[in-house]
Each structure stands twice: as structure tokens, then as C-alpha cells.
Structure 1
Amino acid sequence: MPLPLRAGAALAALGFGLWAVAPTLAQNAPDVPGEARTDPASAALIAEIDAFGAADASADPAGDLEKIADLRRRIEAHGGLPPMAMGLLESAEGAAHFYLRDFETAAAAYGRAAPLFEAGNAPPDELAGLYNNRASILAALGRYGEAEADHRRALAIRRQIEGERGEAVSSSLFGLGYVYYRQGRIEESLPFLREAADQQLDYLRPGNPLPIVRLTSLASVLGRSGRTAEGLAAARKAEALAREYLGPDHPTFAIALNNLGNALIENRIFREAIPVLRESLEVRIKTGGEQASGTAITMRNLATALKATGADADAEALNRRALEIYEATGEVDTPFALAYLYSELADFAARRDEWESYFALSDKAIASADAALDNDSAEQAQIHLYRAEWLLRKGDFSDARGVAERWVPVMQSDLIVSHEDRIWAEMLLARLRQLTGGEPGEVLALADDAMDKLEAKLADLAVSDEALVREARRHREAAILYLALAADLGDGERMVRSMQLANITELARGQQFAQPDDAPPDGALALRARLLDLGRTRAELAARLEAAQLDENADRDGLARELASADSAAQAIEMKLLRDHPDFVARYRPQPLRLAELRSRMRKGDLVLAPVEGEATTWVLAIGKDSLRWSVLDTMQLGQQVASLRDAVDLPDPALAGFPLDTAHALFRGLFPQGLGKVRRVLVHGGERLASLPFALLTTRAHDGSLADAPWLIRSAGVQVVGNLSLFGAEPVPAPTATRARRFVGVGGVELPGSANAGTARLAGLFRGGRPDRGVIGDLPSLPAAAEELRGLAETFPESGRMLLIGPEAAEERFKRADLTGLDVLAFATHGLVAGELAGLWEPALLLGTGDPAAGEDGVLGASEIARLAIDADWVILSACNTASGGSEGAPSYSGLATAFAQSGARALLLSHWRVRDDAASWLSVRTVQATRDGEGRAEALRRAQLALIRDKSLAGAAHPAIWAPYVLIEN
């Protein structure tokens, strides 16, 4: 479906549009030789030329050209004027042609003006401005070599005037960066764009939009280069500065908001993107009107975020309004904008089984695509294949196959082999051939080849996390098609493979917070950062080499040598990563296990339950030591069941209402149609909606009695989540804590800002890259039992192996200095913050506070920081609120906290799905650790603690799942 759009049309969206570099005339013409000034006729003609510099060149460019032609005739009759005057006249003509959008003629006029300026000894700043304007027009015309030369001439002059930093210098740097960007040389462009944006910030002043334009343009290029985290940080800064320096009624503020919302969407932070884009829409309407194309763009972006969070009705209404604007104005930002909007609206109709409406809209989408796009392009094919996808869901297999047979070859010829849309299209065709009686061998060959490419891509260290996050939906859809194909064949091996590929794509969505900042130069993260940089360079060189085949003047041999050198360097780094950091590779890029290998790692009584949730159908694989069964569920009904159970536990304490036991049992029957039998440990792998629910609260049979006596699943079996199936059982299970006598570190008891006992723990005034402010944090409830919980946990360890960081000692800077090696348990008892839960929170985090703002810490330990720590711990306990859930529909299955701790080295985690009551958190965590000390496995220890809590009548409401069931154990 349509990708989110940036601020405006392709150029204007980046802040590079011609509107940003409109040529200007000298406001005050330089002195010319005295005799020319003393000649009254010459002076009068020069005064007319000067008048063009004082006038608005965009007001009546056609009229200006008539005046200029008349003036030229009179100058010729007069016998000519000095070079500078004639240069200004050429510049005025260039400006008029520019505003008439006759750019070739404008460039020629500026070209004639340049030597006249030089001959007339024009002031350096005027000459540099002329070169700059001509370069901008030449770049827009695609004459990049000439544009670069003029920008460099302007830059050299401006550096003579301003030095290495200056407002005009930054403009030339930006222009050079744009020239490289337009040629696809993004890696070369970024140093210029970064420096230009940095210098422009020196000239921030109220009402001046240019520094904001430069910064938001940089953010866009960073996002397009795959540096979405850096791009998001730049977009946040641009929005904050636009708010401060331009105010809420400025159109550039709307652009900054829109581009921030788009960056959030690219990072899949949908919940925060929604209010940002709503505000952008308000400003767009206020400053540009309801019918402006920019207004339609923000509507479409907002619709994307709303749809991702399940707000289909609002998303559909916004897309329909955007379509009305495009149809009324005829202004579209891209040739395929209308086609994608019709297709998106058709999608909503199909979801409601309104097929007559669907086909009418789909016909319009196809007609628009065929009329607007190049014949047989990937974008055009995509619109047609959306139709094939819905025909498949509707059951019109033959019609769907006809469409796919026509358009999948176009995707294959137009896209690289690893492109997510090509992999999906090939898998779609394989499935349709199977459903229409295709030759089985050919079907499997096409399907296996598509999945081989997906598996290789998911394992490739040179593929960025951001790319996998952005492409996760298509990857998952392709894997689900493979799963359906394998199920029809009864092919358990392929079913298990497809299940793992689908869930690995989901796992990758939580990995985006690992960044190489401050990483050791030979460490895994730093090596991989270099590998990603080389990957971008290689992709760029490959594209330039391909384009060079059509350019006889291009240095094809030189480009080929550069590409070979980059390939060699990347291969060397990848080999070093595999050799020196195998554990990092295994955690970061898991690979599917063969069915036999998976079974060999299971214990007697184990059952791997692997749900794979599609848009309409959910597959649930139940893998035993010697069995494989699967069931198919309706995804909408499943979502309703999960929502009902979550609503029953997401309750404000102490208002514990009833619990839908019938729903708990209905969901159990769907997931375990054969019952549990002799299963003693359920290993859950995957799921989206289901990942927000602990299976412990399902009931194994119908029950309408007291909650204390309900047949909860944990009465029969323990439950744990396996995050990375390829690591499951790969290492020996460590001996119990008591025999190892290892160490414990407990962190928490943080006193919140604004509380009566805040003491020295506080939050720094400046937060890194989007964190909630003091007021928002101060509104969180206190956790009075947190310190006691940590002390209780510590008592299960020898005194010599305990470290407690409580209250002010839990400050972020002190925690980061702590020794985190050789730990049995690292426990946090503080607030866990889900991305998007609080205003300004862009990544999941733990609240620690800071005792010293000068230390450079803000008191919020984010997932990106956790991923860079080296935590040698058997397990991490996050006795905190909301540390397991992704927080909303469209979020990763498990929050980035889970993945971040796994990346940092933790081997198991105990996390919570919802806000945990303080006394219950302490009760469960202490008894779970005590049980492991006595020799129990983690899943069994948690099970026993939960059952004991249900029986404990001293804790009010303890039998309600809201109290005893929030925790989930995640291994690997």
C-alpha cells in the first residue's frame, strides 16, 4: 500500500525545490566608470535596469520580458552600456524566464551574465549569488557537472568573504550536497548537507525558515539513505526549532511537523506520529487551505499511521478527503498518487466485503496507474498485483493468477532480487499457481527460491535494521503465503521454516534501537556500522555503474574498480564479525532451524506453540517431540478475544471487576484444539496480538466459579516465550543459582521528580532525542514497595554477591558505571515506559533519574542505550510497568526493551504485560528467584509463584489475573 509522503513534491519535499533558490538581482548596482554615470542617457538606462533589482521578479515575469526587450533595443540604439549594467540586464531576463518556468532559457541568460559580472568587477557576493542561482537551475535541469562547477565557484568566493563558516557558505555547501544527491551519490552528499545544516543553525532568528528547511531536508535525506535513527533525531530538532522560531502559523512549521511524522512512521512509532501529523494538518489547513496539495499529503501520512494502529474508519475518511483534493485541483505530488489512493480505498471496501465498491475503486486505480506510469514499471505492476492479492482472498484464483502471470515478470525485471515487493510477488504467483493446478515441481521451485532470498536477506548483516523494520510487513506476508502453500501439501518441514521466517521478520522490528555510538572500534556494533556504511556505498556505486552503461562519457572502469574494492572491504568485515563475534551474529541475525534440529533441543513434555498472524487468517503450529499439528483461526475473532481479555486485566487498581472466563477458554480451545495432554512446558514463539497476552491466564476447561478455583493453564504447565528460536536449547542450561554463587544487582526505588521525597534523583532538563519532560514523568505513580522488593531479592544471594542501587544510587550515570559481568540476576524495580505511551517518548525506556545533570545523562535509560551495554546475566527481571508489550497495534510483538536486553547479552528476561500492582510485583519476583535458588527452572519457578499468589488471601484480589498473571518469561 502507499508509502508515507514527505512535505511536498519530490523536490520541494526535500527543501531543494526551485522555490528555495529563486534568483535575485543585485539590490544596489555597483559603480560603473564615471563617464557612464555622467552621461544622462546612460544613467537613465542604468536606472531602469536597477529598477528590476528593486522589484518583485515573480509578480509579472511575462511583462518584464517585454520591458527588457524594449530596453535592449534602446540600449543598442544608444551604443551599449558598461559590462556590469549589461550583466544585470541578463540576470533580470534570467529571473523572468525562471518564474515562467523556462529553465533552459533562464540558465542561458545567467550564463551570459556571469562573464559580464566578472568584466564589470562586480562585488564578490553578487558574483557568487549569480553562480549559485545558475547552479541551482542547472541542477534542476539535470546538468550536474555544470551545476557542480558553478556551486564550487560560488563557494570559493564566499569562503574568501566569510571564511569556512557563514550563511552564504552554508548555502553553497547545501547546493553541492543537492547536486550529489540528485545524481544518486548520497554518501557524497551527506557531508555537505550535514555541514550546511549545522552552519545554518548559527543564523537562527525568529521568522527565518531557511535553517529549518535545511535541517528538515537533511532529515529526509538521512531517512532515504537508511539512517532512519539519525534522520528521526534531525527531524525532531527541526520540529522543535520551527516551533520556537517560526511559530504555529508558519507553513514551514507544518512541513517540519509532517516530516517528523513521516520519520516516526518509518521507524514504526505510529502512536507518537498520530498527534504530530494531526497538528501538521491543522497548520497546513490554516496556512495553505483545505484544498492545497500539501494538506492532502499530510492527510495521507496521518491515514497511514491511523491504519497501522487499527483506526481504519478515520484512515479511510482521510484518504477519501485527500483524493477529493487531488481530483479537484489536479495537483499530485507523484504520478502514481491517485492510483495508490484509489487502491487504498479499494482495500478498505474489500475488508468490509463490499466487492462492488472494491472493483469500482480498483478499476480506477488500475486506469490511473496505466495512464500515469511508465509502461511495465514496478509501480504500475504493484497496483495490478494489489488486485491479484484481493482476488486471492476472495477466492477468484484463476482471475488472480492471470493478473499475477502478467505483472510478476515486470517486478522481476524492474527490481533487484532481494526487494521485498519482488519476493512477495513471486510468492504470490507460486501460491496462485498451486491453487489453479500448476505443476507441483514448478510451484515449489518458485516458492523455495523466493524463501531462499528472504532467508538470505534476513541473515545478511549488511542489511540495516531500519530496512528490515520498514519491509517487515511484506516479508511477513510472503512467509504466510509460503505457510499456506506448505500446509496444503502437508509439508511440515516447509511449514516450520515459513513460521520461523515470519517470526524472524517480527523479531527484527524490535532491533532498531541498537546503535554504534561510543562502541569499541573493533566491537560488533562498530564493525557492523562500518559494514552498513559500505553497504550504502556499494548500492550507490552499483546504481551509478548501471546508469553509466548508457553514458559513453562515464568512467565505467573506475566505477567498477570502486565497487570491487567496496565489495572486498565488506566481505572482510563480515568475515571478522562471523569469526570474532559469533554470539552477536546469532542474536542479531537468527536463522531458521530444521524441524529435526528443533525437536532435538526440546525436552520431554515440551510443546512449541508458534502462532503466525495474518491479516485475515492466523496459523497456529503446535510442535511436539514427535508430532506436528496446526490449526487455522479467524484473525479478527482472535483479536476480539485478546482485546476482551486485555480489557479485563488493564484495570485501575483496586477496581478488579469480573473476568471473561468463557473467552479465556474459547481462546484456549482455538490455540490448543487437542488440549494439553502430557504437555508440561509450553514454549511460545511469535504472534502479534497474542504476544500481548500471557497464556497463563487461559483456562483449560469451562468454569463459572470463583477465580481462585479456575482451571488456569498454569495449573497444568509452565509457560515461557522463546524469543530467538535458533538459540533455543543451543547452550547447556546453567546450574541453579545456589551452586554457582554468582552475583545480584538490583536497581530501582527511584523517587520521581515533583514527589514529596524527590531528594537528589531528578531528570536532566535536556532530553536525548525525544524523551518525556519532567511534568509528564512527575505524573507517574510512585512505587513504594520497589526498594523492599529489591532487598528481598538480594537476600536470596550471598551477602558478598549483592549490589543494590536504590533511590539516588539508582541514577543512570551510577548504573552505567556498575560492574554487570558474571551476574545471576539483574533486577529493575522502576517504571518501564513504552514508546508512545507518554508524550515525547520515542523509544521504550526505564526510568532511573540522575543525580548529576552535568554527567550528561537524562535519567531515562532507553532501549538504544541498553543494547550497547555489556550485560553478562543469566536473566534480567524488569519488575516494572509495561516492559513486555509493544504498546499498540502496529508495534513490535515485544517491546524494544526485550530485544535490547537480549542484544546486550542477557540470556533470559522476566517482563510485565501491563501495569503491575506494587505489592504483587514484589511478591512474584522474590518467590520466583527463591524457587530458582532451590533448583527449579525459570518457567516452573514462575508458575509456582503465580499459583501461590492465587492462593494467598492476605493480598487483596490476588486471584484475579490482573494481579497474578502480568509476567512473561522470555528466553534467548
Structure 2
Amino acid sequence: MNRTLLVAALIVSASPAAAQSTEQSKLARPPAISLGTPPARERALRALEWHVAQLNREDAVRAKASERAATTQALYDLAVATPTGPERRAHPLAGLARSMQAAEAQEAGDNDAALKLSREATELLRPFRTAYADYYLEAVSTTGFTLTQLGRNSEAAAALGEAADFAETRFATLSAADRKLDTWMALSNAQFANAQALYRLGNLETSAEYQRRSMQSRVEGLGANDPDTIASYYQYALSLMRIGRSEDAEHYARRALDGAIAHVDPKRSTYPRAFAAMGVVLANTGRRAEALDYMERALDAYRTTFGADNLNTQYAIGNLGDALLRLERYDDAIAVFDDGIAGFAAKQGKTSAPGAELIVSSGVADAAQGRAAAAEEKLRRGFDIARSLDAKEQVTGPTALPILVDLAVEQGDGATARRWATQYHDEVTARPNPSAFDRADADLRLAIASPGSDPRPAARAMIAAIRRNVAIAETGDMSYMQRAALDVVLNVAARTGDAQIALDAMTLLAGSKIALAGRLVAQRLAAADPELGRLVRRYQDAARTYRSADAILPSTTAGASEIAEARRRRDAAFADLEAARAAIRARDPRWLDTRGYSEPDIAAVRAGLAPGEALVAIIPAFAHAYTLVVSKHGTRVESTTSGRATLERLVHSVRASLPTGRYDTEAASILHDQILTAGNRALLKGVDTLRVVSAGQLATLPFAALVERRGARLDRHTPYLLHRYAVVIQPDFLPRPNLKRVATAEYRVLAVGAPAIGIAPPPPVTPRATYRFFRGSSASPLSDLPPLPGAEAEVRQVAARFPAKDTTVLIGRDATEPRVRALPLDSYAMILFATHGLVAGELNGSSEPALVLSPTNQTDGLLTASEIATLPLNAEWVILSACNTAAGDGVTAPAYSGLAQAFRYAGARSLLLSNWPVRDDVASVITLATTRATRHGATPAQALRSAMRNLLHRRDLDGADDPFVWAPFMLLN
């Protein structure tokens, strides 16, 4: 089971009662029938029942835990001592007491005790189930849910399905007057518990339907803003997330969060669970940076509500660590995991299954950081603990074993590698229906650990398996285990010299980042074209059907007929998905490009190179990074001698040194030698332009400022890469068409800039801006931006270089989105924006990259990436003379994935961007010089190189020889 979903289920769904924040006080009511109990004894029982109900209110749970336990036991003892009816059975309130004790045990994580208690409660209430149906259903729901937690899914589904049917049938017979609060609650809990059982069986669509019914029962019985109703919103959001309805899932998660903030005491469990659910939904759709805010807020609230030693708090820690792991913030993840490991050890001992899972996760993070010894110790320890427990739902093996194989191979320990690989392969093949990825992963690890075998077929099978996963995923987000597998694939490519395998693996790694950045762009493209939207919905429906059917196959409880039907549905869905993808490619390939779907081959890449060009790729995988060079002379694949973490530290050092005036030439030269090795340089003879493809932190590197010689002095004569090559950044490996150069005199030019920020009132607050409390708030999101005194001069100077009849200038109050959209944008050969460029989240309420324009009464002054993507452009190139216009959508997106990608999708062929905030006077110089060079026939790449070199040697501009001044500019096409 996917770890994120497992943790989500445990965090948000601790038990039927706790999961939806049911207050037991809502179940208190007078007896439905006369039991013949002596009046005094009946009054005593009812008094205890009422007292227990009050103690079960959430505001008293922690403060009065011991009193609650004692009173519940007293109710049970008195009820058992009060025989009723001719059969002299225990009073039914004994069943209520046991049901409450079962829920308490389940909340504490003691599922064995919870099952025993809930079953006893069920049997005590069974003779009275008609009259005491609500209490009976509560007991059965706890029994069924506990069975799901223990992995006994078929038993749970049978019990809970019967209970849900009983509840709905009984409820239908009640009059409106008889549909009391407790009746609605019992119905909702039965529906919820059945939804959970169906989910565990992989019946995701029906599970979501029962969760919807549970939510609707709460809405009708309790009202839309009741804390228990609010809890049902986030439960339904999680159900929708599992079936791929991400937009609907986010809607209900936000509805729950709004309700929790407005109507729920922060000390109640519903409050942190609403934040946790929002984080899980966002993380599952690839928006992990956004998810972190919610997860951190949830963890703080869990600590306040439950205490630092509560299991809910520990699971919240695990959720946060998992999000950090997927964001590739490995050291932060380790710190969080270690906190959770200590918490589980204190609560459940040092050999708990959840603790073992966190130990393994921490080991994975160590492996990614190149700390082999620490990684191996943790992976072995977590794996051994889990195996000693014989956990029902084993998640440590598929994570620990392949990484242990990789560590042994890297250390040259062939015997240990074969042992781990054989065990992994045997376990995967012994499963009734292992996933395609798991089968390919096991084959790949066995191949690399087997002397004399050719691992390339296994590497190609892994590429095919991940491609299929990417096709059916809601986003192109890639798990860390997929990245680890592609790391192995790239190592195979480097050892065998197979450039096509390397290209395929790198395309997947780079494409996953592109897909994350292009999420909102893809939505707008589909919304703008009804036929494309129809094809996209067909594609998404097929993907959901595939995921739903595929979820059943690994189940050990599904029958042979269920498995066969699931396979049939899955295969049919994939065929429909492929047909829809082909139709989308024919209709508008940009949608697929935003999803990172491309499958180039080496021959096409080479054919797409212009004379004097070569492609150089530097792609980080998991623990390592790899280079691929394609030129007219041949191809070469290498693993960098330093690991991914070391390279990223070098990149950070280079970037951090730039604003200080003390550029780290040593780090810049080491990076140069790691990328352009002697073997790679041998393929670059006669090359004057490098087409660079990179990803992750390496994409933030100013390639032109790399230094070719160690120990070089920092001055105008430093041997920068700029002096040898022009650099063009490519976001992917798709060949670029040779652009027909248009005479400058024929250009129509649009120049927009120097927006008048804050001159108009801000527009009404949008739902997106509602959540700005995470970053503070201000009256206007643009109010704190500094002015750009050189922007107006830059716009006018550039415009003056072209005939007035062919030039449109929008400055100040005229630089608005409505004015831009009203123009015939496809008639402009060159478009300049001289304004602020913002990364996602940089301003309050901003969830995607944007260019700043002048706000109006109708617009917020932000031209976002997804809005840009739908502009009808036909520009030979676009100049974004703005701060941060090469920046991406977060730490997992490529540095140029935001605004730049959006302009490419809109129709721009070449883009001039900046990699960090730039000086206004320098931006003007670079823009004008580049424009002038292209007027004389230079290619955009050579024009930018010439402009940067001239700037470096200018003495009339203060500090022009500083790389911080001349190096931020980059060309993308």
C-alpha cells in the first residue's frame, strides 16, 4: 500500500468514532423499550451513561482520561450486574461501555484489545439491536474498522457491509420525527466504516460512494458546520483523492479546513485532522511544498490536542517526514523521522511496526545523501524489526531491500548484493499479483547483482513500467523508490555506454519535474478547448479506472474471479488511455508536454542539432547524478564522480557566493570538471553552442559562469565557460525546430513594463487568497514590491530601436492584463516584459509563478503561468527582463519550469530570462545588446553570449565584471 495513503488513513481515521470526531454524548438517549429493570437501578445506569457521555466530550478527553476510564468500567460492572428480560441477559448499556472502551483502545493503537472489546460489545447488544440499533451499529463499526487495521479485510467488509445495509434499511423505515441526532450519527458511522473496509479491499469507487453517504447523513442530521460534519468533509476528500478526483478532493478538503478554522475549537481533534487532510491531498497531487505548510500546522495542533506522546502525533510526524522525503529535503526528513522513531519507541517500544517503517524511511534519506554506512544500519534494523513482528501489511521490504542491494553493489560486496537481491526477487515473485513496477524492480536488482548477466533488458523493462505509472498517475510526480530505480538504470547505461537507455531514464526524471510545474497550465489548456477537454476527461477517466482495478490485484483477500475481472478492467482502461493520449497528441500536444510525456530517441536528438551545437545533460537521480553528451561525433554517458548531494552542495555554494562579491571559483571549477569531463569534452570539438538539459537543484546553476581551470583568479580574464560556448537551456530532450530568422525590419514589437503597483484597489478576495495566513497578510499582495526605476527607460530604449508603426508600448497604468489580452498577440515577433517576475508563493495568495502588471478593479495585477499558457503567441522570442523569471514552482520543479514553460506552451520559440534578481541598468544593456546582435544576423544564443561578454568587459558600469551582474541571464528554447 502507498505509504502516504497508509499514513493518511492512520492519521485521519483512527477509529469510526474518532475518525469523524463523533462525540459519544450525542448517543445518549432514554431507553427505547422497557427492560423490566428496577427503577432505582435504571436511574443509576442512566446517570452513569450520561456521566460517561460528558467525559467523552473532546474538551474533557485528555483532562479526565482516568475518570472517564473508571466511570466507563463502573457502567459496565453495574450493567452486567443488572440482568434483564426472561433470558436474564446483561443490561444493553454493558455493550455501550465495552464499545466505548474498544474505541479508546483503537484510538491508542491497541487493535487486538479493541477487537476483543468491540466483539464483546456487539454480542452484548445483539439481542437488543432493534431497539438499541445506534449502540449496536457503533459496536459493529468499531469491530469492522479494527479488523481493517489488522489486515483482515474480507472479515471486515462482510461485517460492515451487513451493518451498513441494516442501518440504511432501518433508517428508511423511520419517520422524520424518529430520525434523531443519535440515529443520524449511527447511520453515518456505519456507512463510514463500510467505506473503509471497501477501501482496504481496493473497491475505491464504491468506498467513495459510501463515504459520500456518510457525509450526507452528517449534513442532514447535524448541519453543515457541526464539527462531526466537518470531519466527514475531509474523509470524503481522501476518498476522492484515492480515485483520482483531485479537484473535488481539494474542494472538500478546503471546505473542511474552512469549517475547522471557523467553527471548531483548536483543541479538538477535528482541527488538526482538517489540516492534515489538506496536506495529504495536496501532497498526493504533487504539490508537496504547499502541503508542508498544512502538515506542519497539523503537527503543532496534534501536539497541543493529543500531546507529544500520542500515536496521532507520531503519525503526523511520519506524514511530515514523508512529504520532506518526496521533496528531496533529505536531512530535514531525517530529523523529523528520528523524532517520530523516538516517539513510537516511547509509546510502543523499540520494536513497533510504525517505528520500523520510519527507521527504514530515515535510512532511505541517508542513502540519498550518500551516507552509506548510516543508511545500511537503519535499513537493516528497520527491516529486521518488521520481519520479527510478521506485520500484516509489510511496507518495509519493498523499500529496504532494493536500497540494500544498491549499497552492496556500490561497495563491491557481490555476495551480499546477490543475497539481498535474491531475497527481494523471491518475495516479489511470491506475491499473488505484484505490480509491474515491483516485478521490474526485483528483476533489475537481481540483474545488477548477478555476475555475467546483461542488465540492459531489465533496465528497459523498468523504464517501461515507470512510463506506465506516469501515464496513469494523477500528476507526473515520481516517488523516491522510482527515482532510486532510475538511478540504477542510469548506472547500467553508464557502464554499458547505452545512450538510449540514459536518454529514456533522464527524460522520465526531467519530465516528472515538468509535470509538477505544468499542472495548472494543463488545466487551463483543457478548459480553453472543449474538444481537448473532452479528450482529457476521457484520458483521466481511463486512468482512474486503471488505478481502481490495479489496487485490487495485490490484495491477498480478493477472490480469483475478482482478480480476473480487475485485470480485464485494468487492461481495457489502459488501452483506452493510450487511445486518448494519441488523440490528445493530434489535437494539442502541449497538454501532453505539460505532463512531461515525451519519448525522444538519440537519432532524433542528434538530427535536431544545428551545426556547431551539442546537447549536454546533467540530471540528478537519487544518490547519484549523470551526464549525457550528444554531438555529431557520438554519444557518451557518465556517472559523476561526486554524488548528487555533493553536487547540490557545490551548486548551493556557487549560488550563495554570488551576491557576496566573492564568487566561489573553486566550486564553479569542480562543477565544470564534473559535467565537462575529458571524455565529454572530446565529443565537443568544433562545438560553439551547448544545449543544456538539467533538473532539480542543478537547474539553478549559472552554466555560463562555470570556471574551466582550478585556482583561477576572479577578474575579467577568469576562464569562464562563457568564453568557450554559448549556452541554450532546454527544458526537455525534444528536438527544437530550426527557426527561420525574420528580418528585424519586419518585426512587430510589444514592450510592456514599469507597472503602476498599488494605484487601484485590489480585487475581491478569491478562494485561493483565503489561505494567506500561512505567510502573513497585507492589504494588497503587490504593496511591498520595490519600484523598478530602470524598467520604463528599458522599455522605451528597446522600443526606439524599431519603427514606431511596428511597436506597441504599454507602461505604467496601461500595463494591465486586459490591455495585453486585447492586442493581436500572434502578430508580434518580439515581446518584452520589464517587470517583477515572481516564483510560486512569493506573494500572499499566489500559488503559481507570475509576472506583475498594473492591477485594475477587475484584475489582481498578476499574469500567472497558467494564464500565460493560453495567450495566442507566435513570437520568435520573448524577453522577460524581470527578477526570477527563470525560477520554478518549488524545490522539485526545474528552475525554468514556471513562467518560461508557460510562454513556450503559448507559442514563444526563444526566451531570454533571468536566474536571480537583476539590476535594472544591466537588464537594459543586455536586452538592447542582444536585440542589436540579432538584427545583424546572430542566433539568439550567440547574441546573448556576445552581450554578456561585452558586459563583463565594460568599465563604465560599476561591477560589470562580477558574475552576479552578468551571469543571471539565460536563453531557453
- For the criterion TM > 0.5, the same-fold answer is yes
Aligned to 2:358: 341
| Correspondence for 1:734 among 735, 740, 752 | 740
Q: Residue by residue, what CA displacement relative to the aligned partner does 1:780-830 show, whole Å, maximum 9, x if unpaired?
A: 322233344344444555555545454444445655565543543344333
Structure-1-length-normalised TM-score: 0.82
TM-superposed deviation, 1:606: 1.0
Say whether the 8 Å CA contact 1:848–1:861 is kept in structure 2.
yes
Say whether the 8 Å CA contact 2:840–2:848 is kept in structure 1.
yes
Q: Residue by residue, what CA displacement relative to the aligned partner does 1:190-211 show, whole Å, maximum 9, x if unpaired?
A: 4665687699789999996334
TM-superposed deviation, 1:719: 0.8
Aligned to 1:516: 523
Aligned to 2:348: 330
Distance 2:557 2:87 in 1: 52
TM-superposed deviation, 1:144: 3.6
| 1:257 maps onto 2:257 in alignment | no
Aligned to 1:647: 656
Aligned to 2:675: 671
Aligned to 1:882: 884
Aligned to 1:657: 661
TM-superposed deviation, 1:634: 0.7
| 1:846 maps onto 2:864 in alignment | no
| 1:538 maps onto 2:552 in alignment | no
> Structure 2 vs 1, CA of residues 54 and 733 (structure 1 numbering), >3 Å: closer, same or farther?
same
Distance 1:664 1:281 in 2: 40
| Correspondence for 1:439 among 450, 453, 457 | 453
* 1:380-419 equivalences in 2 (<5 Å): 380-412=397-429, 414=431
Counterpart AA for 2:768: R
* 1:181-580 equivalences in 2 (<5 Å): 181-184=196-199, 185-190=203-208, 193=211, 209-228=227-246, 231=249, 234-235=252-253, 238-239=256-257, 241-246=259-264, 248-266=266-284, 273-274=291-292, 276-305=294-323, 314-330=332-348, 336-346=353-363, 360-373=377-390, 379-412=396-429, 414=431, 420-433=437-450, 437-440=451-454, 443-458=455-470, 460=471, 463-466=472-475, 468-471=476-479, 473-516=480-523, 519-520=527-528, 522-541=530-549, 543=551, 550-551=558-559, 570=577, 573-580=580-587
Distance 1:271 1:446 in 2: 34
> Structure 2 vs 1, CA of residues 191 and 31 (structure 1 numbering), >3 Å: closer, same or farther?
closer
Q: Runs of 5+ in structure 2 lacking a partner? A: 57-67, 106-113, 147-155
Give SS of 1:959's match. Answer: coil
Give SS of 2:10's match. Answer: coil
Alpha-carbon RMSD: 4.6
Distance 1:918 1:766 in 2: 32
TM-superposed deviation, 1:399: 0.8
Say whether the 8 Å CA contact 2:444–2:462 is kept in structure 1.
yes
TM-superposed deviation, 1:136: 6.8
Q: Residue by residue, what CA displacement relative to the aligned partner does 1:136-180 show, whole Å, maximum 9, x if unpaired?
A: 7656643243233245347647895699x9998799568646634
Distance 2:291 2:622 in 1: 23
TM-superposed deviation, 1:609: 0.9
Aligned to 1:123: none
Q: Residue by residue, what CA displacement relative to the aligned partner does 1:447-484 show, whole Å, maximum 9, x if unpaired?
A: 332233334555x3xx2352x3143x433332332232
* 1:588-667 equivalences in 2 (<5 Å): 588-631=595-638, 632-635=640-643, 636-649=645-658, 651=659, 657-667=661-671
Structure-2-length-normalised TM-score: 0.81
> Structure 2 vs 1, CA of residues 529 and 183 (structure 1 numbering), >3 Å: closer, same or farther?
same
Distance 1:152 1:745 in 2: 65
Aligned to 1:965: 967
Distance 2:175 2:931 in 1: 66
TM-superposed deviation, 1:303: 3.7
Distance 1:670 1:268 in 2: 31
Aligned to 1:824: 829
* 1:67-78 equivalences in 2 (<5 Å): 67-73=78-84, 76=86
TM-superposed deviation, 1:692: 0.4
* 1:556-955 equivalences in 2 (<5 Å): 570=577, 573-582=580-589, 584-585=591-592, 588-631=595-638, 632-635=640-643, 636-649=645-658, 651=659, 657-674=661-678, 677-701=685-709, 707-726=715-734, 728-729=735-736, 731-736=737-742, 738=744, 741=747, 743-752=748-757, 758-760=758-760, 762=762, 764-768=764-768, 773-774=777-778, 777-795=782-800, 799=804, 802-812=807-817, 815=820, 819-837=824-842, 841-848=846-853, 850-852=855-857, 855=858, 858-867=860-869, 871-886=873-888, 889-955=891-957
TM-superposed deviation, 1:407: 0.9
> Structure 2 vs 1, CA of residues 538 and 603 (structure 1 numbering), >3 Å: closer, same or farther?
closer
Counterpart AA for 2:668: A
> Structure 2 vs 1, CA of residues 115 and 3 (structure 1 numbering), >3 Å: closer, same or farther?
closer
Say whether the 8 Å CA contact 1:87–1:114 is kept in structure 2.
no
Distance 2:190 2:832 in 1: 52
> Structure 2 vs 1, CA of residues 21 and 253 (structure 1 numbering), >3 Å: closer, same or farther?
closer
Distance 2:178 2:537 in 1: 35
TM-superposed deviation, 1:681: 0.7
Counterpart AA for 2:492: L
Say whether the 8 Å CA contact 2:612–2:686 is kept in structure 1.
yes
TM-superposed deviation, 1:587: 6.0
> Structure 2 vs 1, CA of residues 721 and 210 (structure 1 numbering), >3 Å: closer, same or farther?
same
TM-superposed deviation, 1:895: 3.4
Counterpart AA for 1:328: A
Distance 1:820 1:413 in 2: 60
Distance 2:233 2:343 in 1: 29
Count of equivalent residues = 922
Distance 1:529 1:159 in 2: 42
Aligned to 1:124: none
> Structure 2 vs 1, CA of residues 909 and 242 (structure 1 numbering), >3 Å: closer, same or farther?
farther
Q: Residue by residue, what CA displacement relative to the aligned partner does 1:252-299 show, whole Å, maximum 9, x if unpaired?
A: 433333444445544555555555544444333333222222232333
Q: Residue by residue, what CA displacement relative to the aligned partner does 1:821-852 show, whole Å, maximum 9, x if unpaired?
A: 35433443332222354566543333346412
> Structure 2 vs 1, CA of residues 874 and 524 (structure 1 numbering), >3 Å: closer, same or farther?
farther
Say whether the 8 Å CA contact 2:851–2:864 is kept in structure 1.
yes
TM-superposed deviation, 1:106: 3.3
Q: Residue by residue, what CA displacement relative to the aligned partner does 1:390-449 show, whole Å, maximum 9, x if unpaired?
A: 22232323211221122124235549776555544433332222xxx2233xx3332332
Distance 2:558 2:294 in 1: 44
TM-superposed deviation, 1:667: 3.0
Distance 1:304 1:562 in 2: 31
Distance 1:671 1:849 in 2: 42
Say whether the 8 Å CA contact 2:705–2:963 is kept in structure 1.
yes
> Structure 2 vs 1, CA of residues 716 and 663 (structure 1 numbering), >3 Å: closer, same or farther?
same
Counterpart AA for 1:29: P
TM-superposed deviation, 1:963: 1.8
> Structure 2 vs 1, CA of residues 541 and 309 (structure 1 numbering), >3 Å: closer, same or farther?
closer
